[in-house]
Amino acid sequence: MSADSETGRDEEREERMIDGIGGAFLFSNDTKRLATWYRDCLGIVPEGEDAECSSIYASFEYRDLENPEIKRTIAWAIMPTDQDIKDKPRTGKINYTVKNMGEVLSHLKSKGVAIEKTAEYPYGNFAWLKDPDGNQIELWEPAKE
């Protein structure tokens, strides 16, 4: 068995089945309140509201690595839920990259946000917290090299 087979990769497959993240979606009973928190605490400014699914959204653009002429977009949205999710456990986590962890943590603390944990690794600095609806957030400042 080859190393690729051991890791579950199909040696004959020329392309990955999944080649990126198209979006990150949070659910809330109060989308406007949660969108305000993300704007005020993490600086994610909503670009608009989608009437079709009643979501508040933003997008993040990046360039394709193989062809930098191609722009790609990751959608980020807060969507209303059709059931009460208050005080129910969350199973997901979104990792946001940051340029300056110290500044971000200082800003969050000024907003009264509790930072659960921080850690430093060779590949960067991390911090963990939760939004007002209990969604887990991981902040990552990649190492400079």
pLDDT value at 76 more than 70: yes
* DSSP three-state, residue 2: coil
Q: Which residue has the higher pLDDT, 16 or 133?
A: 133
What does the block give as tokens for 48? Answer: 């608009």
Say how far apart CA 78 and CA 57 lie, in whole Å. Answer: 6
Write b or e for each residue in 49-78: b if 16 or more Cβ atoms lie within 10 A of its Cβ, otherwise e: beeeeebbbbeeeeeeeeeeeeeeeebbbb
pLDDT tens-place string over residues 27-74: 999 999 999 999 999 999 999 998 877 899 999 999 988 889 988 889
pLDDT value at 115 more than 50: yes
How does DSSP assign 96-123, residue by residue? EE-S-HHHHHHHHHHTTPPP-EEEEETT
CA dihedral (75, 78, 82, 87) positive or negative: positive
Q: Which residue has the higher pLDDT, 89 or 109?
A: 109
- Residues 1-12 have a mean pLDDT of 52
Tell me the β-bridge partners of 6: none
